[in-house]
């Protein structure tokens, strides 16, 4: 069947090329309009209970878009008029930023910051520094005293050393535009910088703003990577076809995939550029295999190019499609992790890999059929000989006892790396954002803010009950116990809830006597205390803590970092507390805010991890079993995949790259991508055996042809992806290294390990293609036939 299909394609080669060309032109128009941006909702596992709680309460209790701006004076305190003016200026100007939730701009200068004091008439809650700044030195001195005496301000919004003030601002999810927020906030804070203040800004919108900021650089590196690929292919293959055809294959696939993605309305995450490169590399690998085979068919014969192309296609269509099919199967498994980003990525990935069947497996040989002088070389630098020396080495290993050593060391490497891989962190492995370098402006800012203030990343836990439940002393005391319990964790800098407000109001009712700084003893008392506070509160003031009918209250926890361990510990401590302190009146609901959402993402990734790996391997086993009609084949091809995975996971554990929302796509796609090289090599051994060669000869030929193709692609791609190390985004640099490692391990396994495995274990699915008469062993006597 393959034969007829191939003949058909080669016979109508002009049509094939024309159709592909027209489609590519059409798709390129569509692909050029693809939207490159980060959409936060895509990162959220929508059916996770935490995310549901987050969605329900984010507008009042704090979304995941919170940005913290810290203004710091070099010397002295912030209580100087020019500094206070800057704090007020920034606070005021933030109201004009795109998508801002103007009820949730909080600082010393906002009307949320109040002093609660008792007067003869009752309680007076007056803003500390709103709408006007204190005019006189005495006024400033009074303000300073008020701040120092107010625990809701001194600590959370004014630093303990009085040198820094914090401004927090929240954004509506549906209006968030990271690039605009990034630019506008930097513009607003510019004047504070001019005034000599040190400005530090953190928050997810700013983080993704930085990613966007480096988008041009990302494109530049991608362009350089492609140029270098081009140059390396030219150097190594010494032919124009060897240089252009792989790039054409890669280009067609990319255009089609992005075109389809744009058509169905998917956008492209800037951080996922690395994944695109990974897929681009697949197309190149396949194309190079075909070209190598083509040259091999030509070798020493005067065969017409048309015939050579036909043979190439016939020979490689099976391993090529099988490789791509396993890739597609393994990639599809990723969609089981219910995160929209991953699901969308899977669609792009599947489309992309499918197009490689056309762009590389069909277009490359079809174009090769026009090749006029297959023996001509463009330049004189011959890297063939050193390459073949390496390949000879691979063959040598198979023929000597080296193969047992190799097998032994592979087993040891597998065991050791498999054990070490268990150190892999789920979630971020270090403080600061893993997307950026530790010394990047953003991470330095984050470290500074988290050192000065109780923590810039928040999680809110919702306490829900019947109407007025949040007035019950039992409930409030339970919440207080919860806060006390949670604050013990060192990474939690503070917590805040209605329980912190009520005692302050009560104390001021009792002449400011701190012996009465406690919750009311009845629900009615607590209700009155809250009412007193709320009486002249600004909109959004009370809503930060509790909703209008006192059904739902928030306990906000301030985190100093967002490492996977920190979040896991916090979540398990929350559950521990709720389990050991049962209460009927209310229910604790996890969890909103950026940390709540990350907790959900990490849990989903953790739960999905073993499942994805297992299912990906299953897909591989089933496909190989089906194609080679041997369960052994399935087992056999697991070797390179499992090895590549344990090694990469070990690498991630070693470099402290956590499994998070950004790395999961790369790691998950990689699961399926280790097998192609091995398929080409083993399939060629099988094919050579079918032509009547003995096993050793078959291995030798396979290593020098298919193996050579593997070597060419692996070397060029490794050098190219390592260029990502120069990226300003640490994430891309690390993913570059990860891909390089992947390619390296897959290539080495394909060239060195697989032939030895075939020789040692003589799997029947490879050997049965030997012509019936030649049952006798060839070469060395069988040492370990199974």
127-135, 603-611, 708-716, 741-749 -> range binding another protein (CB under 8 A): 603-611
> Which residue shows structure tokens 């970092």?
561
Are 639 and 753 in contact, with CB atoms under 8 Å apart? Answer: yes
Number of neighbouring beta carbons within 10 Å of residue 258: 23
Minimum distance, C-beta of residue 653 to another protein, in the bound complex (Å): 16
Q: How far apart (Å, rounded) are the C-alpha atoms in residues 73 and 447?
A: 17
Nearer to another protein, 230 or 485 (CB): 485
Q: Is 606 in the site for another protein (CB under 8 A)?
A: yes
Of 152, 607, 696, 722, which lies in the binding site for another protein, with binding defined by CB under 8 A? 607
Q: Is 617 in the site for another protein (CB under 8 A)?
A: yes
Q: How far apart (Å, rounded) are the C-alpha atoms in residues 493 and 669?
A: 38
Q: Is 625 in the site for another protein (CB under 8 A)?
A: yes
Structure tokens at 600: 């959900």
Q: Is 517 in the site for another protein (CB under 8 A)?
A: yes
Nearer to another protein, 90 or 479 (CB): 479
Q: Is 555 in the site for another protein (CB under 8 A)?
A: no
Q: Is 128 in the site for another protein (CB under 8 A)?
A: no
Cis peptide leading into 663, omega within 30 of 0?
no
Integer angstrom CA distances of residue 785 from 396, 604, 750, 760:
19, 45, 21, 7
Q: How far apart (Å, rounded) are the C-alpha atoms in residues 749 and 764?
A: 20
Q: Is 487 in the site for another protein (CB under 8 A)?
A: yes
Are 254 and 275 in contact, with CB atoms under 8 Å apart? Answer: no
Of 285, 609, 645, 756, which lies in the binding site for another protein, with binding defined by CB under 8 A? 609
Q: Is 490 in the site for another protein (CB under 8 A)?
A: yes
Of 145, 382, 467, 549, which lies in the binding site for another protein, with binding defined by CB under 8 A? 145
Concatenated DSSP letters of 349-405: HHHHHHHHIIIIIIHHHHHHTT-S-TT--SSS---HHHHHHHHHHHHHHHHSTHHHH
C-alpha radius of gyration, the chain, whole number: 32
Minimum distance, C-beta of residue 603 to another protein, in the bound complex (Å): 6
Q: How big is the site for another protein, counted in residues (CB under 8 A)?
A: 55
Minimum distance, C-beta of residue 735 to another protein, in the bound complex (Å): 24
Q: Is 638 in the site for another protein (CB under 8 A)?
A: yes
Q: Is 611 in the site for another protein (CB under 8 A)?
A: yes
Minimum distance, C-beta of residue 682 to another protein, in the bound complex (Å): 16
Q: Is 141 in the site for another protein (CB under 8 A)?
A: no
What is the number of alpha carbons within 13 Å of residue 368 lying toward its C-beta?
37
- Residues 156-195 contacting another protein, CB under 8 A: 160-162
Nearer to another protein, 475 or 494 (CB): 494
Long-range contacts from 501-509, C-beta under 8 angstroms, 24+ separation = 501/152, 501/530, 501/533, 501/545, 502/476, 502/526, 502/529, 502/530, 502/533, 504/116, 504/151, 504/152, 505/116, 505/123, 505/529, 505/530, 505/532, 505/533, 508/116, 508/117, 508/118, 508/123, 509/118, 509/123
Of 84, 266, 621, 644, which lies in the binding site for another protein, with binding defined by CB under 8 A? 621
Q: Is 301 in the site for another protein (CB under 8 A)?
A: no
Minimum distance, C-beta of residue 147 to another protein, in the bound complex (Å): 8
Burial of 195 (0-12, 13-18, 19+ CB in 10 A): middle
Cβ-Cβ contacts under 8 Å for 642 (sequence gap 6 or more): 414, 617
Q: Is 722 in the site for another protein (CB under 8 A)?
A: no
Nearer to another protein, 259 or 493 (CB): 493
127-135, 435-443, 506-514, 656-664 -> range binding another protein (CB under 8 A): 506-514
Number of neighbouring beta carbons within 10 Å of residue 39: 16
Nearer to another protein, 237 or 602 (CB): 602
Q: How far apart (Å, rounded) are the C-alpha atoms in residues 786 and 606?
A: 39
Are 107 and 113 in contact, with CB atoms under 8 Å apart? Answer: yes
Minimum distance, C-beta of residue 454 to another protein, in the bound complex (Å): 9
Q: Is 97 in the site for another protein (CB under 8 A)?
A: no
- Residues 569-588 contacting another protein, CB under 8 A: 569-573
Structure tokens at 590: 């996890």
Distance of CA 412 to the CA centre of its chain: 30
Minimum distance, C-beta of residue 426 to another protein, in the bound complex (Å): 8
127-135, 198-206, 543-551, 613-621 -> range binding another protein (CB under 8 A): 613-621
- Residues 404-443 contacting another protein, CB under 8 A: 426
Cβ-Cβ contacts under 8 Å for 482 (sequence gap 6 or more): 461, 555, 574, 577, 581, 588
- Residues 445-484 contacting another protein, CB under 8 A: 477, 480-481, 483-484
Minimum distance, C-beta of residue 489 to another protein, in the bound complex (Å): 5
Minimum distance, C-beta of residue 347 to another protein, in the bound complex (Å): 22
15-23, 143-151, 254-262, 539-547 -> range binding another protein (CB under 8 A): 143-151
Q: Strand, coil or helix: what is 420?
A: helix
Binding site for another protein (CB under 8 A): 145, 148-149, 154, 160-162, 426, 477, 480-481, 483-485, 487-490, 493-494, 511-515, 517-518, 565, 568-573, 602-603, 606-607, 609-611, 613-615, 617-618, 621-622, 625, 631-632, 634-635, 638, 786
């Amino acid at each position: 069947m393959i034969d007829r299909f191939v003949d058909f394609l080669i016979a109508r080669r002009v049509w094939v090329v024309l159709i592909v060309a027209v489609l590519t032109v059409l798709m390129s128009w569509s692909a050029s309009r693809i939207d490159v941006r980060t959409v936060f909702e895509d990162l959220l596992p929508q059916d996770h209970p935490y995310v549901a709680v987050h969605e329900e309460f984010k507008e009042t209790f704090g979304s995941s878009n919170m940005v913290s701006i810290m203004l710091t004076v070099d010397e002295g305190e912030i209580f100087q008029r020019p500094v206070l003016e800057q704090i007020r200026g920034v606070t005021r100007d933030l109201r004009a930023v795109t998508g801002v939730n103007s009820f949730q701009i909080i600082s010393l200068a906002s009307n949320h910051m109040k002093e609660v004091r008792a007067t003869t008439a009752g309680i007076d809650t007056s803003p500390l520094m709103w709408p006007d700044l204190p005019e006189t030195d005495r006024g400033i001195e009074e303000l300073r005293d008020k701040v120092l005496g107010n625990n809701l301000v001194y600590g959370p919004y004014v630093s303990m050393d009085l040198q820094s003030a914090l401004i927090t601002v929240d954004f509506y999810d549906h209006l968030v535009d990271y690039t605009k927020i990034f630019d506008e906030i930097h513009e607003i804070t510019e004047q504070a910088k001019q005034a000599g203040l040190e400005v530090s800004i953190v928050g997810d919108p700013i983080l993704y703003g930085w990613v966007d900021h480096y988008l041009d650089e990302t494109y530049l590196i991608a362009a350089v990577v492609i140029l270098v690929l081009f140059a390396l292919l030219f150097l190594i293959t010494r032919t124009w076809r060897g240089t252009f055809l792989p790039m054409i294959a890669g280009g067609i696939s990319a255009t089609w995939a992005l075109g389809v993605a744009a058509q169905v309305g998917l956008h492209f995450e800037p951080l996922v550029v690395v994944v695109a490169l990974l897929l681009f590399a697949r197309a190149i690998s396949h194309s190079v295999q075909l070209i190598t085979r083509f040259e091999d068919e030509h070798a020493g014969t005067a065969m017409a190019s048309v015939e050579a192309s036909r043979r190439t296609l016939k020979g490689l269509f099976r391993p090529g499609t099988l490789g791509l099919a396993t890739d597609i199967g393994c990639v599809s498994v990723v969609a089981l992790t219910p995160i929209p980003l991953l699901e969308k990525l899977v669609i792009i990935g599947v489309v992309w890999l499918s197009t490689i069947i056309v762009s590389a497996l069909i277009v490359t040989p079809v174009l090769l059929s026009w090749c006029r002088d297959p023996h001509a070389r463009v330049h004189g630098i011959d890297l063939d000989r050193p390459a073949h020396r390496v390949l000879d080495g691979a063959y040598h290993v198979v023929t000597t006892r080296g193969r047992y050593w190799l097998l032994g060391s592979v087993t040891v490497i597998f065991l050791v790396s498999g054990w070490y891989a268990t150190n892999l962190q789920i979630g971020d492995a270090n403080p600061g954002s893993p997307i950026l370098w530790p010394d990047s402006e953003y991470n330095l800012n984050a470290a500074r803010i988290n050192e000065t203030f109780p923590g810039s990343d928040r999680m809110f836990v919702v306490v829900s009950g019947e109407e007025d439940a949040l007035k019950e002393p039992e409930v409030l005391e339970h919440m207080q116990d919860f806060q006390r319990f949670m604050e013990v964790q060192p990474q939690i800098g503070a917590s805040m809830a209605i329980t912190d407000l009520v005692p302050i109001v009560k104390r001021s009712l009792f002449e400011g006597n701190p012996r009465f700084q406690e919750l009311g003893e009845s629900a009615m008392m607590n209700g009155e205390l809250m009412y007193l506070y709320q009486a002249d509160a600004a909109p959004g003031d009370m809503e930060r803590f509790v909703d209008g009918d006192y059904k739902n209250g928030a306990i906000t926890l301030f985190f100093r970092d967002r490492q996977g361990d920190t979040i896991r510990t916090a979540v398990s401590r929350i559950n521990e507390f709720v389990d050991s302190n049962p209460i009927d009146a209310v229910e604790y609901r996890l969890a909103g805010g950026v940390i709540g959402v990350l907790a959900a993402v990490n849990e989903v990734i953790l739960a999905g991890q073993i499942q994805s790996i297992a299912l990906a391997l299953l897909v591989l086993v089933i496909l190989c079993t089906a194609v080679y009609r041997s369960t052994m084949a399935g087992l056999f091809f697991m070797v390179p995949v499992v090895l590549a995975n344990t090694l990469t996971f070990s690498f991630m554990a070693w470099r402290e790259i956590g499994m998070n929302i950004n790395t999961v796509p790369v790691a998950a796609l990689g699961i399926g991508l280790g097998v192609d090289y091995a398929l080409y090599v083993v399939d060629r051994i099988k094919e050579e055996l079918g032509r009547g060669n003995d096993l050793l000869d078959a291995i030798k030929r396979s290593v020098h042809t298919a193996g050579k193709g593997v070597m060419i692609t692996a070397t060029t791609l490794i050098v190219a992806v390592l260029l990502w190390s120069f990226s300003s985004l640490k994430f891309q640099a690390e993913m570059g290294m990860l891909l390089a490692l992947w390619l390296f391990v897959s290539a080495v396994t394909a060239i060195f390990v697989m032939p030895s495995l075939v020789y040692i274990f003589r799997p029947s699915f490879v050997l049965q293609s030997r012509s019936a008469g030649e049952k006798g062993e060839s070469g060395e006597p069988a040492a370990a036939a199974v």
